[in-house]
Amino acid sequence: MTQAQSTQDQNSAESATNKSTAPNLFSPLTIKSITLRNRIGVSPMCQYHSVDGFAEDWHLVHLGSRAVGGAGLVCVEASAVEPRGRICPDDLGIYKDEHITMLKKITGFIEQHGAVPAIQIAHAGRKGSTKNPWRGGNRHQKQDVPDSEGGYDIVAPSAVAFNEGSRVPHELTIDEIKEIQLKFRDAAIRAQKAGFKWLEIHGAHGYLIHSFYSPLANFRKDEYGGSFENRIRFFVEVVDQVRAVWPQDLPLAARFSTTDWVEGGWTVDDSVKLAKILKEHGVDLIDCSSGNIRSGDRYQMGPGYQVPLAQKVRAEANIATAAVGMITEPHQANEIIASGKADMVLLAREFMRDAYWPYHAAQALAGELGVEPKTVLPPNYTYAI
């Protein structure tokens, strides 16, 4: 054997080893004591199908079918930490102990079928008390629900309405800020009692937390407004309240609007700084979304358009990230993981179209990854396929 052949064989062996050990879409992901069976997550998707915040059979079937379909993580939709924190009167909530019973039934089913149950706790802030989008509401132009039809008072860092169709929020006092932070803490306690093993704090999309840290919605002059350090204070203190009661061995994630996409707004560099700080306060993963701080702002969207945001935060803040937004194709999703742009991908609309997306992705990637598609599904199905 020539030296050139020997070198070529060695390089081929190293390439094969690297390919087999490099993470891919179907590699397990371990954070704290939790291991996901793959890097595919069901992103929180508002269903607007609750009365007084209670989960229903709809949520059991909606979320349970995605666990059966092979997702590694199944995240319950934005769940309000208090009634006025709901986006609309039909939102899910986790603001009373009575909510726990049905949520526990859902988490049990999700775990039974191999996925990790997660929940996103949230407060809508100035985007609350709006019309249900599948009952005539407009997702982009928030329309106020009158009190006579179930509407309610809303709150924000500043008394500035989201748009002309929404009501003017009450500007929170310092004492009221502290009260809401305690409601996030109480929601985290309920989440654990309900059997969730992964918790995400919703700090994106123009809702309460985002409206504190973005200079486009926060016009306060006290310790919660003005400088970067002041504007992120609310978020950091919420994390501290939650981390104090959420088990240390369970993952805590935070969703950012990683950029406002608007000059003078929040930037991805700001998100890197915030991610470093929240990591020090016990956050394990950043769910990298973007935008929606103001009505009428428009920006370019396309397949995987938010992936570079997750990549930058991951690389520069040295923290795990999830990529989300117009991720639909198996090879696209796998490339995000294999190239180190994010640690996992979260899908929403694509999961609405196909509850068995992980199984179909395994079929598409079987040749190059060596994954056996049948292993993605429960035995109830695999014997017949």
SS (H, E, C) the chain: CCHHHHHHHHHHHHHHHHHHHCCCCCCCEEECCEEECCCEEECCCCCCCCCCECCCHHHHHHHHHHHHCCCCEEEEEEEECCHHHCCCCCCEECCCHHHHHHHHHHHHHHHHCCCEEEEEEECCHHHCCECCHHHCCCCCCCCECCHHHCCCCCEECCCCCCCCCCCCCEECCHHHHHHHHHHHHHHHHHHHHCCCCEEEEEECCCCHHHHHHCCCCCCCCCCCCCCHHHHCHHHHHHHHHHHHHCCCCCCEEEEEECCCCCCCCCCHHHHHHHHHHHHHCCCCEEEEECCCCCCCCCCCCCCCCCHHHHHHHHHHHCCEEEEECCCCCHHHHHHHHHCCCCCEEEECHHHHHCCCHHHHHHHHHHHHHCCCHHHHCCHHHHCCC
Side-chain-side CA neighbours of residue 143 (13 Å): 10
Classify residue 6: in a domain, yes or no: no
Q: What span, in angstroms and rounded, lies between the C-alpha atoms of 197 and 281?
A: 19
**What pLDDT is recorded for position 83?**
98
Six-digit token pair at 14?
Answer: 């190293």
Looking at the domain assignment, is residue 27 inside a domain?
A: no
Q: Longest C-alpha distance within the chain, in Å?
A: 86
Q: How far apart are CA 72 and CA 353, in angstroms?
A: 18
Provide φ and ψ at 291, rounded to 5°. 75, -170
- Domain extent at residue 339: 40-382
* CA proximity to 144, closest of 131, 161, 154: 131
Cα separation of 138 and 375, whole Å?
41
Amino acid sitting at position 297:
D
What does the pLDDT read at residue 5?
43
Residue 9 lies in a domain: no
Asked if residue 22 is part of any domain, the answer here is: no
Q: Which residues contact 284 (CB under 8 A, 6 or more apart)?
A: 31, 32, 251, 252, 253, 319, 320
Q: What is the pLDDT of residues 104-131, one digit of tens each?
A: 999 999 999 999 999 999 999 999 999 9
Asked if 224 contacts 199 with a C-beta cutoff of 8 angstroms, the reply is no
* pLDDT at residue 134 in the model: 76
Distance of CA 31 to the CA centre of its chain: 16
**Global pTM value:** 0.93
Q: Does 23 map to a domain?
A: no
CB 55 within 8 A of CB 99: yes
Kindly give the parts of the chain with pLDDT less than 70: 1-21, 137-142
Pair 265, 295: CB distance under 8 Å: no
- pLDDT at position 12 is 39
Cross-strand pairs, 119: 76, 199
CATH no. for residue 243? 3.20.20.70
Catalytic positions: 207
Nearest to 257 by CA among 315, 227, 196, 299: 299
Asked if residue 113 belongs to a domain, the reply is: yes
Find tokens 């959420």 and name the residue: 246
Q: What is the pLDDT of residue 13?
A: 38
Spatial separation of the C-alpha atoms in residues 85 and 22, rounded to whole Å: 42
The structural domain count of the chain equals 1
Q: 18 lies in a domain?
A: no
Written as six digits, the tokens of 81 are 């930490």
User: In this structure, is residue 33 part of a structural domain?
Assistant: no
Q: How many CB atoms lie within 10 A of CB 370?
A: 11
